[in-house]
Amino acid sequence: MTEHIHTISVDDDESNLLLIEAMAKEMDLSIHSFADPLESLQYMKENTIDLAFIDYQMPGMNGIDLIRHMRDLHPEAPIIMITSVNTDNSLRLRAIEAGATEFLNKPLNMPEFRARVSNLVDLRMMNMLLKDRAMLLKIEVRKATDKIISRERETLEILGRVADYNDLETGSHITRVAHYANILAVSIGETEEFRDVIFNASPLHDIGKVGIPDTILRKEGPLSEEEQVLMRAHPLIGYNILKSADSSYLRSGAVISLHHHERFDGSGYPAGLKGVDISLMGRITAMCDVFDALMTKRPYKSAWSLEHVIEYFETGRATHFDPMLVDHFIKNIDAFVNIFTSFGDSEP
């Protein structure tokens, strides 16, 4: 196991280098020897070092300066400083302050060498093992987290499809809305976290329709005034379903459900919110939902032409829609159309 401990020895005295090398090999340590401290420093920069023997008195760079450099490069590696027996305590203190872990006195002898080095090797191997275990644990936690997130996203997709089950919308509608929302979020420079949340939460915008009678959802003609009142309750129903969830996706879905029928000028429902009082996720999802609805053929309506849809959004700037988002929508219209085409409905 000790052959995996990468060791260096730095000393301008070749006889000392050979002695340390021989002693290290007796302990099955893999060792590289350097007579030039500057050359050893370059090696440190390019390689992993687990243990170092460094002499104090060397030309070009003294041992304390080299220890200081190595400590910056390899903060966890033990460093043994080689000193003479009569080295004063102030020098040892400076070496400790620079990062030395242990000292060996010249002339070196094998029993002391083995005892001191064995302790440091055991410590280093334990630290390496703990680091490996920590890395393995981190990987396992990441795998478990990914699995949880995957299941949560699957649940979100199912919830979104539940909302569309008795509606005349199709499952592809919520998929497209998620991708449209991501396009706008990227375009306006939102964070990766925001984009992840809106991508997974926007399909829940119509979850409140589970509380609306099927006869209203599946009606192919215009709704009566009474039916419109019932239909307009679905944003609040959706909010109440999702608002107490622990999941950030579901909580954001609650806000999106509540806000996606609000209008920028305050003429929307259910609360008549205006401007930036409407959540950004709600404003984005509202645009995406309307775009997809206008582009899609339904039993009660024909699909609009792209030119007509763009004109509708231009007309609705600052009344129905956030004008900033309209600009980004127009800027990314080709991407919207690509999503609409790529995730098309299997049936009209």
Q: What are the pLDDT digits (tens) for 33-63?
A: 999 999 999 999 999 888 889 998 888 888 8
Mean pLDDT for 185-192 is 96
Q: Which class does domain 6-137 fall in? A: alpha beta
Mean pLDDT for 331-340 is 95
Closest CA to 31 of 4, 54, 12, 8: 8
Kindly tell me if the per-residue pLDDT of 337 is higher than 60: yes
Give pLDDT, residue 347: 47
Segments making up each domain of the chain, as ranges: 6-137, 166-343
Q: Specify the DSSP element, H or E, that contains 341.
A: helix 333-342
Cβ-proximal residues to 236 (8 Å cutoff; 6+ apart), any chain: 208, 258, 270
Q: Which class does domain 166-343 fall in? A: mainly alpha
Q: How many CA atoms lie within 13 A of 95 on its CB side?
A: 24
| pTM for the predicted model, two decimal places | 0.59
Give pLDDT, residue 102: 84
pLDDT tens digits along 291-329? 999 999 877 789 999 999 999 999 999 999 999 999 999
Give pLDDT, residue 1: 46
Contact between residue 180 and residue 328 where contact means Cβ atoms under 8 Å apart = no
SS3 165: helix
Strand partners, 34: 10
- Whether omega for the bond prior to residue 323 falls within 30 degrees of 0, making it cis, is no
Mean pLDDT for 104-120 is 80
Neighbours of 77 (CB within 10 A): 23
Contact between residue 167 and residue 218 where contact means Cβ atoms under 8 Å apart = yes
